Every structure is written in structure tokens, then in C-alpha cells.
Structure 1
């Protein structure tokens, strides 16, 4: 039996995938409401294809419990935030999960950590827990996730995976577990290499996004079309510039690179500046709003509407959302309310939040597209007559403003 610890955006799909492929699974989470919902047949977040996977996993006998199980295999998938001051990883949730697991684990059990961690975390923060508990029989493995909200199910099936283990025998055992559903290549390596590769993957993308964002600022300075420039540059066979945007959200690209900055402050200079560039984009968007209002002779911020609260299109994930960062910055300096709407966010999470697109549009004169949900793509014509700042380059209307 596999006990999956942490039933959030990564742990739950992993548990469902294993269960639906014949593995006996118990999913554990400290949040009783999450467990109650799942037991009652209700998912705790929206995701393409997860409904069908959930039903199949339930048919195959998946169980949910707040208690850690007495078994021989654990997959830990809990959050790994970072300290905003030191930039170092805060591994308290992983430490807590491993500590509780050791209390009930069978002899020679394997604990697989899926949570993204900085290189050396298992050696410095996790392995000592085994010695303290007198459980050095337990094997540690790092199998970092490689999925993204919006396409989790398909990526679980097809993405390549990395297994980091102390021994090839243990690594191959866990490789067989993931191969029960994963069609991609599964590489077995040592633990610290696995830790480093996951962080480097997200850092690579963060640096590339930062270049695009900085290019947008340079082009704005000289009134050039950054999207046209990127389009032409990408015609070169060895150039692939990403698209600029209003900021970077989610729990990967906006967080993981800071681990390297925190652990290697004198070495990770390019990474540090890249992260600062990305973090500054919500404020850059706010200044674009002010400039456009000045150009249009408008002064009522309450008539400005932000479309999108999530960090990416067609998901309900708001972690590190650029819109939330923009609102925090704006309220701190001016305090005027901006209207907000997102079709994927049902509950009220911010002030002046709308739950109907037409009402939102009727009460606004300036629309800032922060997220390119399919809904707005299908309703572009409703923006005719509005002043539109399109931070995602999805709007084809004439006269639209961009970054």
C-alpha cells in the first residue's frame, strides 16, 4: 500500500493516478475538510480530466484519511515555501510529514519526497530525522513532480521523471511504482542530483521569462512592439524567446529559483536579478495603468477592472498570483479599489470582486487582461468601446494597449 501525504495540487492527482492503475492507495491530509470532501466524492479543485480520474480511482478503492498509515511506501507532497528574507527553503512541512511518517512506518519502509526542495535538503534536514528516531532502516527517495495546473493528468502520463535514491535497487523499486502509469522516461540518479535538476529546470524558465519581461520594458521605453520583435527574433533557428507577462505565479517558477539564491548568494547573481525582474512586473503593470489613464484623461481608479485572479489560464490556482500582487501594491500606496473578476474563482477572496462577466464589464471603463482564460477569448467583442490593457497579448481589437 502507498500512503500519499498531502492532497493538494500535486499529491491528489498522484494518488488518483496510482490508485486508478491498480495500486492500493490511502491519501492523507491534515485538513479534515479536504478528507471529508474527497470521501463524499467531491474534488477540492478544478482540473482538466481529473473528474474522470477521480471516479476511476474511487472505483479502484482509493481511501482518504487524516491519519498516517502503517505501510511500507510513502509519497510526501507538501508545500515548500521559502523565507522571504534569506531566500532559503523553509522545509518545515516536509520535516513534519517525515517525522509523523517515521512513527508508523514499517521496517525498511521507503519515504518518497515529491515536494520540490533545494539541493542538500534531504541530507541536511531529513536524514537526521531518521537517526533521531532510530529509524535508519528507512530508505529516502526524491522523485520531484513535473506537472503544471491545467494539464496535470496528461503530464502525469507523459512527462519524463527523475528518481533520486541512495541505492540503484531502491531507485529501481520506486521507478517501477511510477512506471505503473508514467509513459515517459524515468531516470534513476542520486538524491542531490535529483534535488538540483528540479530546481534548475524551473530556474531556467524563470531566467528566460525575466529576459522577455526586461525586453518588454526596454521596448516600452522606445515605444517598440515587443511581440513583433520577439516574433521576428524567434525565426532564427537558435533563438526561442518566451512571452512577457504581468508577473510569474504558481508554486514553481516564482518560488524554486529563490532556493538557489538563498543557498548560493555569491554565485546566483543572474538568477537573483531575474527573480527581481519577474517580481517587479505587477508594479510595472500598475504604472502602465496610470500612464494610460493619464493619456486618456481618466482619473477614476474605481472604473478600472482586472480580468483574472489566477496565476495562469483556465485553472483555479491563485498561488503567487500577479493580480494579487498588483492589488497588494496598489492598495498599499493609494488604497483606491480596483474591480476584479475571474470565472474560476467562485468564493470572494478580494474586495470588489465580481462573479458575472457582463456586470463586471458594465461597471468598468478600463479592462486589464491579467489572465488569458478561454472565457475572455470567446467574449473579446464585448470589450469594444473599452480601454483595454492586454498583458497577455491575446486581444485582437484595434487600439489595445500592451506591456
Structure 2
């Protein structure tokens, strides 16, 4: 049996995938309301294919509880926030989960950490706690780091098809854990050491963050001299060794917007390019806000109640709004404009910010300027409703003539 600790955006799909592929699974989370919801047969967030996977896992006998179970294998998938001042990872949730596992697990148990952690976290924070409780790592407790590699909006597919990395103290334990993930994973599974596994996950997200920062900086340069950044990128990408990403309103979520800061925090004198790239991405929502203000002045809009932000989530077609560019923009907006801008997102059913609307037509009523902050499929089906509006398109997806861009 595998006890999956933490039933959020990563832990729940992982638990469901294992259970639906014949592994006995118990999912544990301290959030009783979340556990009750799952036991009532309802998922806790929206995701393509999740409902079907949930149904298959329940039919296979998956159980959900607030209590840790005694077994020989644990998967820890709890949050790893970072301190915005020091830029260092907060391993507190992972350490607490491991300590709770040690209260119930037998000797010889394997603890697999899926949570994204900065290089050296296992050695600095987790291994000492285990040994302080009288266990010997590598003998009484086997530690493994198997970082997740999935993205909201395509989790189920990526769980099945993405390659994986297994970092372990010994090859034998690594191969054993590999067999566990091979029960459902069709991608290549690489076994390595823990420190390498820690580093590779952070580097993957850092690579993407730096690429996005380059595209965003390029957009600013082109805006300064009135050049078409999208045409420039299109032509440059015709070169066989060039692949520039598209600029956008900022970076959100709990991976690309967070993980690279782990390297900046741990290596402040070395991670210079990463540091500047993250600063560029973090300031992009403010850049968009300034662009909104420019357009308001040009179009004679004096009341910011005539401006609406479309999209609150950090990416398209999901209900995950962690670190979203829209929320970052709204925070910056408090320092620039008197009243909060109108906001709408078809995937967010409850109020998470001021002046939020839940009906698209009501949101559009009285708005002169619509800012596309998220490229949901919903907006692509409703271009007709935007005719006659002034549009700031942060993704170059709007087909209507006269659309402004960042």
C-alpha cells in the first residue's frame, strides 16, 4: 500500500493515477473539508480528465483520510512556498509531513518526496530531522526524491506520458520506486542521486522562466520603438536553431514563478541571469498596467470603471489562480488607479478579489476597454461580444481589427 500525503493539485492526481492502475492507495490530508469532499465523491478542482480518473480510482478502492497510515511506502506531495524576501524555499511543510510519517511507519519504509524543493533540501532539512528522531537514513528509512513534472490543464495526460526522474540514495531503492511509477508512467524513468533530482526539476522551470523573460523584454524593446514583436519573433523562429517564446502579461502558478527563486536564494552571487529574468517576469504585470493607462489616455477613457480584466487564473482553461498575473496587476493597480478594475473569469466561481463578476455579459456592460489577461477557450468563442470594444490583447490571439497589444 502507498500512503499519499497531501491531496492538492499534484498529490490528488498522483494518488488517483496509482489507484486506477492497480496500486492500493490511501490519500491523506489534514484538511478535513477536502477529505470529506473526496469521500462524498466530488473532486476539489477542475482538470481535464480528472473526473473520469477519480471515478476509476474510487472503483479501484482508493480511500481518503486525515490520518497517516502504517505502510512501507509514502509519497509526500505538500506545498513548498518560498520566502519572498530571502528567496529561499520553505521546507517546513515537507519536514512536518516526514516527521508525522516517522511516527507511524515501520523500519525499512521508503519516503518519496514529490514536492519541488531546492537543491540540497533533503540534506539540509529532511535527513537531519529523520536522524534526530533516531532513524538511520539508508537503513531504517529510505529517502527518495521524485519531482512531479505536470502542468495544470493537462495533468492526466502528462502524468501518463511525461518522463520522470527518481533520485535515491541507493540504486536498489531507486529501481524499486521506478517500478512503482512504471505502473502508470509510459515515459522514460531515469534513476539518479537525490541532489541531481532536486537540481534538475528546478533547472527545468528556470530554463522556461528565462526564455519567457527574454520574450517579455523583447516586447518592451519593440513597444519602445513601435515595432511588431510578434512579427519579429515569427521571422526569427524560422531559423532552425531559434525558438523564442511568446510574450505575455506575466508568469504565475507555483512552478515557473517560484522555483527559479530557489536558485537565486541559494546562490545569490552566481544566479545573476536568473535573478534578472525573474525580476523581468515579476514586473510584467506592472508593464501591462502602464500599457492600460497609455491606452486609456489615447482613447479618452477617464474612468477606470470602464476597464475590465478578462481572466483571473494563471493560465488558460484551469481554475488555478496561484500567483496569477491578474492578481499581481490588481495589487500594483492599487498604487496607480483609484478604484479597482472590473474582473471576470469563467473558471472562478467564487469571489477572490474586489469588483469581480460572474456573468460575462454583465461584466462587459459599461466597459469600454477589455484587457485579455488569460487566453481561455471561452474568450475565443465570444469574439462577437467584444465587437465595438477597445481591446488590449496580451497574447496576440484576438482577430478583431484595431486591437492593441502589449
TM range (shorter): over 0.9
1:289 maps to 292
> Does the 8 A contact of 2:304 with 2:337 survive in 1?
no
Q: Shift in Å at residue 359 of structure 1?
A: 1.0
Which piece of structure 1 moves more, 221-230 or 333-342?
A: 333-342
1:227 maps to 230
Alignment of 1:74-223 (within 5 A): 74-136=74-136, 137-223=140-226
Partners of 2:282 and 2:382 in 1: CA distance:
30
Greater than 2 Å deviation, 4+ residue runs = 332-335
Instruction: Please point out which of 316, 319, 325 is paired with 1:316.
Output: 319
1:359 maps to 362
Matched, 1:256 2:259: yes
Partners of 1:381 and 1:402 in 2: CA distance:
19
1:71 maps to 71
Partners of 2:291 and 2:128 in 1: CA distance:
50
TM-score, normalized by length of structure 2? 0.99
TM-score, normalized by length of structure 1? 0.99
Alignment of 1:31-42 (within 5 A): 31-42=31-42
Instruction: Please point out which of 392, 397, 400 is paired with 2:395.
Output: 392
- Partner secondary structure for residue 37 of structure 2: helix
1:60 maps to 60
Partners of 1:180 and 1:145 in 2: CA distance:
16
- The number of residues matched between the two structures is 403
1:274 maps to 277
Gaps of 5+ in 1: none
Q: Shift in Å at residue 337 of structure 1?
A: 1.7
Partners of 2:162 and 2:141 in 1: CA distance:
28
- RMSD over aligned Cα atoms: 0.6
Gaps of 5+ in 2: none
Residues 224-267 of structure 1, C-alpha deviation per residue, up to 9 Å, x if partnerless?
11111000000000000001000000100000000000000000
Q: Shift in Å at residue 335 of structure 1?
A: 3.4
1:377 maps to 380
1:43 maps to 43
Partners of 2:396 and 2:92 in 1: CA distance:
39
Q: Shift in Å at residue 363 of structure 1?
A: 2.7
2:268 maps to 265
> Does the 8 A contact of 2:87 with 2:264 survive in 1?
yes
Partners of 1:309 and 1:337 in 2: CA distance:
14
Partners of 1:191 and 1:54 in 2: CA distance:
31
- Partner secondary structure for residue 130 of structure 1: helix
Partners of 2:211 and 2:384 in 1: CA distance:
33
Partners of 2:117 and 2:222 in 1: CA distance:
36
Partners of 1:135 and 1:108 in 2: CA distance:
10
Residues 33-62 of structure 1, C-alpha deviation per residue, up to 9 Å, x if partnerless?
100000000100000000000000000000
Q: Shift in Å at residue 389 of structure 1?
A: 0.2
